[in-house]
Amino acid sequence: MRFLPALLLIALAAPGSAQPVPSGSPLVRIDAAALRAHMAVLADDLLEGREAGTRGDALAQLYIRTRFEEIGLAPAGDAGSYLQRFRVRSTRLVPGSVDLRIGGRAFANGGDVAVFGDPLEPEQRVGGEAVFAGYGIVAPERGLDDYRGLDVRGKVAVVLGGPPPFLPAAEAAHYGWADQQRLTAEARGAVGLVILWTPALEQRFAFDGLKALAGRTDLSWIAPDGRPSVTAPGIRLRAFVRGAAADALLAGAPKGMAALLEEARSRSPRGFALAVPLRLLRRSVHDDRLASANVAGLLPGSDPALKDEVVVVTAHYDHVGIGEPERGDSIYNGALDNAVGTAMLIEVARSLAASPRKPRRPILFLAVGAEEKGLIGSDYFAANPTVGEAIADINLDGAMPFYDFRDVIAFGAEQSQMGERLAEAAGQLGLEVAPDPFPEEGIFTRSDQYSFVRRGVPSLFLYMGFTAMDGRNVGRKLWDELGKTIVHRPGDDLSQPIDYAVAAKFADLFRRVTIAIADAPARPLWYEDSLFRRFAPGRPAAPRPKGVS
pLDDT tens, position by position, 302-327: 999 999 999 999 999 999 999 989 99
Give the pLDDT of residue 516. Answer: 97
Q: Does residue 546 register a pLDDT over 90? A: no
Contact 101, 192 (CB under 8 A): no
Q: Whole-angstrom Cα distance, residue 176 to residue 7?
A: 45
Q: What percentage of the chain has pLDDT greater than the value 70?
A: 95
Q: For 129-164, what is each residue's pLDDT tens digit? A: 999 999 999 999 899 999 999 999 999 999 999 999
Q: For 264-316, what is each residue's pLDDT tens digit? A: 999 999 999 999 999 999 999 999 999 999 999 999 999 999 999 999 999 99
pLDDT, mean over the chain: 92
- What's the whole-number mean pLDDT along residues 346-359? 96
Q: Does residue 16 register a pLDDT over 50? A: no
More confident residue, 32 or 217: 32
Q: For 33-45, what is each residue's pLDDT tens digit? A: 999 999 999 999 9
Q: Which CATH architecture has domain 32-89+293-402+410-462+499-535?
A: 3-Layer(aba) Sandwich (3.40)
Give the pLDDT of residue 218. Answer: 86
Q: For 505-528, what is each residue's pLDDT tens digit? A: 999 999 999 999 999 999 999 999
- Strand 363-368 to strand 309-316: parallel, antiparallel, or no bridges (unpaired)? parallel
Q: Does residue 18 register a pLDDT over 50? A: no
Give the pLDDT of residue 157. Answer: 98
Q: Does residue 211 register a pLDDT over 80? A: no
Confidence label for 381 from pLDDT (cuts 50, 70 and 90): very high
- Strand 329-332 to strand 321-326: parallel, antiparallel, or no bridges (unpaired)? antiparallel
CB neighbours (10 Å) of residue 95?
10
The topology under which CATH files domain 105-276 is Glucose Oxidase; domain 1 (3.50.30)
Give the pLDDT of residue 2. Answer: 33
| Stretch(es) of the chain classified as CATH 3.40.630.10 | 32-89+293-402+410-462+499-535
Q: Whole-angstrom Cα distance, residue 187 to residue 235?
A: 10
Q: Whole-angstrom Cα distance, residue 98 to residue 105?
A: 13
Q: Does residue 25 register a pLDDT over 70? A: no
Q: For 414-446, what is each residue's pLDDT tens digit? A: 999 999 999 999 999 999 999 999 887 889 988
Q: Does residue 183 register a pLDDT over 70? A: yes
At 163, the amino acid letter reads P
Q: For 94-123, what is each residue's pLDDT tens digit? A: 999 999 999 999 999 999 999 999 999 999
Sign of CA dihedral 511, 516, 522, 526: negative
CB neighbours (10 Å) of residue 418?
26
| Stretch(es) of the chain classified as CATH 3.50.30 | 105-276
Give the pLDDT of residue 22. Answer: 38
Give the pLDDT of residue 13. Answer: 44
Give the pLDDT of residue 158. Answer: 98
Q: For 453-466, what is each residue's pLDDT tens digit? A: 999 999 999 999 99
What are the residues facing 238 on neighbouring strands? 193
